[in-house]
Amino acid sequence: MTLFNPALSRRNLLSGVAMGGLGMLARPLWAQGVIDLHLPGKPSTRPLTKAFPQKGEMILQRVRPPLLETPMQVFDRHILTPNDQFYVRWHWANIPESVDAKAFRLTVRGHVERKVELRLDDLLHGFERIEYVAVNQCSGNSRGMFSPSVAGAEWGHGAMGNARWTGVRLRDVLDRAGVKSGAVDVRFGGLDEAMVSEGPKFLKSLAIDHARDGEVMIAFAMNGEPLPLLNGYPLRLVVPGWYSTYWVKMLSDIEVLPQKDDNFWMAKAYQVPKTPFGHVAPGTADFPKEAISRMVPRSLITNLAEGQTVKAGAPMAISGVAMGGDCGVTKVEISVDGGATWQVAALGEDLGPYSLRRFTHRITAPAGRFTLACRCTNTKGVSQPLTMNWNPNGYMRAGIETLNLMAGDKA
Ligand SMILES: Nc1nc2c(c(=O)[nH]1)N[C@H]1C(S)=C(S)[C@@H](COP(=O)(O)O)O[C@H]1N2
Ligand SMILES: [Mo]
């Protein structure tokens, strides 16, 4: 398998990828169509682009650093999101345009018995491999849907992806260095750098017990292929059940800390209200905060779009995807009357507790305007809240999503 041949991986990965100095565009950037994200109360059309290396058709949110969103139809077609349509998000634009697999080193240092420097080859061949399916979801996924609006990247629902991740246990790598007693946090950094010297480098940490839980992974593959460069080639952290702000890409540095990490990205950024679903009354700015962590249940209809016309009185198929958040999906319910009554949908194959799960249902379309809604309950018994959650950073969107449809004589 070429994946595990480091001599091949660099060539395969980057051949044909002529990334100019500016913004990693493989091809000139011109609009290849537009898509309407139906964000409430704001301009919501976005260009579609195929201009980025190793990426197919994506919704362009920002060129530099690249913010690329996955169109909803991709989730309708595939339960594992194809790598070339997997969303992309970076904080700083100073991202290497290629990584030499031979020269690459992953350093483990800090509060350890011995500093170690691992080659990609060591990761591929020197540790037991693990593999599982997990959703990677940006903390700000669906931010553009909030009403009232909040500041930040105005994503639709496509700042998420589901993949089969292959790699090694973070615990085993930490053990190679020998964590000293008194370790508190483990901090992760990648090859990307801030554009300005005052800009804080993107660094995220996990508590030592979480880092050593045997599930947190240093991944070298997604869906059986090396990671696309924009998704973190050659290595990224996978923290199943947690928002992907912790899933550090192009992971090159692991530092064990004898104290809590108070760097900007842990202590100042990515803070949510310390309430269920990170919810505060819209407009509230002052509240006790905590670092964002575990995901919450969500469900999204993928085969229909806001405002679509369907045939009144005719059978109508509904399909979508659900996630339990930090555990599996137990139930998805559908409402055709805006949430007054609910019907249980059929669930698709169970790919494990951290995966997306397909749901399908059939209804007879009523006449006139109607509102479809779906609601997920996870294996811990947590259901999506009936009232939409809100916070000023637009994180952790969890409430029930609705689609307003119109049933008429013709579909
Ligand atoms: N090195 C590095 N890793 C990073 C980031 C970053 O800016 N730099 N952004 C994080 C955030 S906020 C998100 S949402 C995910 C996005 O992962 P993806 O681009 O593979 O979809 O990467 C995370 N890992
Ligand atoms: Mo994110």
What distance in angstroms lies between residue 334's CA and the mean position of ligand 1's atoms?
32
Residue 87 above 50 pLDDT?
Answer: yes
From the CB of 245, is ligand 1 less than 6 Å away? yes
Contact indicator for 116, 106 with CB cutoff of 8 Å:
no
**What is the domain class of 1-269 according to CATH?**
alpha beta
CATH fold label, 298-408: Immunoglobulin-like (2.60.40)
Kindly report, as residue ranges, where domains of CATH 2.60.40.650 are found in the chain.
298-408
Contact indicator for 172, 213 with CB cutoff of 8 Å:
no
pTM of the model: 0.94
What distance in angstroms lies between residue 247's CA and the mean position of ligand 1's atoms?
6
Nearest residue (by CA) to ligand 1, atom 18, is: 88
Mean pLDDT of all residues in 131-155: 97
- Which of 18-27, 67-76, 111-120 shows the lowest per-residue confidence on average (mean pLDDT)? 18-27
- Ligand 1 probe mutation, 68, 83, 91, most atoms within 8 A of CB: 91
Query: By three-state DSSP, how is residue 410 classified?
Result: coil
Quick one: how far is CA 385 from the chain centroid? Answer: 21
- Ligand 1 probe mutation, 202, 242, 249, 252, most atoms within 8 A of CB: 249
Q: How far is the C-alpha of 39 from the C-alpha of 157, rounded, in Å?
A: 10
Q: Where are the alpha helices (DSSP H) in 146-214?
A: 170-177, 208-211
Kindly report, as residue ranges, where domains of CATH 3.90.420.10 are found in the chain.
1-269
Q: Give residue 25's pLDDT.
A: 78
Q: What is the pLDDT of residues 315-364, one digit of tens each?
A: 999 999 999 999 999 999 999 998 999 999 999 999 999 999 999 999 99
Using only C-alpha atoms, the chain has a radius of gyration, in whole angstroms, of 22
**Mean pLDDT score across all residues of the chain:** 93
> pLDDT over 70 for what percent of the chain?
93
Nearest residue (by CA) to ligand 1, atom 5, is: 90
Residue 301 above 60 pLDDT?
Answer: yes
From the CB of 138, is ligand 1 less than 6 Å away? yes
Identity of residue 96: P
From the CB of 202, is ligand 1 less than 6 Å away? yes
Q: Give residue 410's pLDDT.
A: 79
Contact indicator for 218, 167 with CB cutoff of 8 Å:
yes
Q: How far is the C-alpha of 68 from the C-alpha of 87, rounded, in Å?
A: 5
